[in-house]
Amino acid sequence: MEYKFLKSEVREDGICVLTVSAPKSLNALCSAILSEIDDFVTNIDLKTIKAIILTGDGEKAFVAGADIAEMKDLDDAAALQFAALGANAFKKLEDLNIPTIAAVNGFALGGGCELAMACDIRIASSNAKFGQPEVTLGIIPGFSGTYRLPKLVGPAIAKELIYTGKMIDAQEAYRIGLVNMVCEQAELMDKALEMMHKILRNAPCAVAAAKRCINDNYDMTAKEAIALENVYFSRCFATEDQKHGMTAFLNKEKPQFKGV
Ligand code: CO8
């Protein structure tokens, strides 16, 4: 599929910098962009792409939400389709077996905040603004914000943000645990790359197994979640990287993981 709104650059280190690019509308998510995101995550080549850093084009916005112009005249059946398109694409992104970081370079509102939350980690530039302003438009979050925001910041703060529709700045987003780090905009990509390099130095199978445990235990009882971790923990012992990592530690050497 030819992309009109998604720019992807796969670097030599295997990190794909994926940029949502519709700067005239502050990268607002129209259905064409959502289809491109879905296509990208569905057909991603995990042999060449080891990690994703997702960002928005320009210095003003990560993604300013779903496209209000496109949504305005939808009826409820069409709204269901539009919501499902975004929610499914974001779920596939969340479920990718590789680490993902959202480098939030400005407004991350509504669907933009929801897109950032579908990534594993969020790093924000100091000018970033977050919010779920849907109720100010007569709707509610539709790309799984009511699901992911309470998991990240707790139900009371999530309800405050969603019921008031207020915007918060990057420092406040950091304080409530919505973002992992705040930095100057000029440093944003470097900080995201630095964190991703730290992650990629570790055994890929182990990082992927930890991701599976953390993502999949969302809806589980403690008993199920602990049993799931036991399964993924034991599977690590069937990898070469586990033997290599432990041997390297005991030999006081730096491990060189192969991802097998
Ligand atoms: N959709 C469409 N166009 C947008 C959007 C958007 N979300 N955000 C900005 N734009 C457009 C503006 O209309 C404007 O276009 P134009 O130049 O043609 O007038 C251009 O981008 C620049 O925006 P502004 O002039 O408004 O820039 P400001 O610096 O004054 O303000 C803001 C920036 C604060 C980000 C402001 O643009 C704003 O409030 N945008 C809307 C934010 C918002 O409400 N987002 C949530 C949308 S709803 C949503 O995301 C629901 C997700 C689930 C959907 C489920 C579907 C059923």
Which among 200, 217, 236 is the end of a domain? 200
- The protein residue with its alpha carbon nearest to ligand 1, atom 4, reads 25
- Residue 135 contacts residue 109 (beta carbons within 8 Å): no
| Cα 103–Cα 107–Cα 111 angle in degrees, nearest 5 | 85
Whether 171 and 44 map to the same domain: the answer is: yes
User: Whole-angstrom Cα distance, residue 9 to residue 40?
Assistant: 12
Catalytic, out of 9, 36, 59, 114 = 114
Determine whether the shortest distance from the Cβ of 111 to ligand 1 is under 6 A.
Answer: yes
In a domain, 113, yes or no: yes
| pLDDT, tens digit, 9 for 90 and up, residues 12-71 | 999 999 999 999 999 999 999 999 999 999 999 999 999 999 999 999 999 999 999 999
Closest C-alpha among 200, 209, 189, 207 to residue 256: 200
Residue 94 is a catalytic residue? no
Q: How many domains does the chain have?
A: 2
- The protein residue with its alpha carbon nearest to ligand 1, atom 29, reads 60
Whether 195 and 211 map to the same domain: the answer is: no
- What's the domain range around 38? 6-200
In a domain, 258, yes or no: no
Residue 134 is a catalytic residue? yes
The pTM of this model reads 0.96
In a domain, 255, yes or no: no
Whether 235 and 136 map to the same domain: the answer is: no
Whether 225 and 240 map to the same domain: the answer is: yes
Whether 141 and 209 map to the same domain: the answer is: no
Phi, psi of 237, rounded to the nearest 5 degrees: -75, -5
| Cα 249–Cα 252–Cα 256 angle in degrees, nearest 5 | 60
Best substitution site from 24, 25, 57, 113 to test ligand 1's pocket, by max atoms within 8 Å of Cβ? Answer: 25
In a domain, 259, yes or no: no
| pLDDT, tens digit, 9 for 90 and up, residues 172-216 | 999 999 999 999 999 999 999 999 999 999 999 999 999 999 999
Whether 149 and 46 map to the same domain: the answer is: yes
Whether 153 and 115 map to the same domain: the answer is: yes
In a domain, 257, yes or no: no
Whether 112 and 239 map to the same domain: the answer is: no
Best substitution site from 20, 25, 26 to test ligand 1's pocket, by max atoms within 8 Å of Cβ? Answer: 26
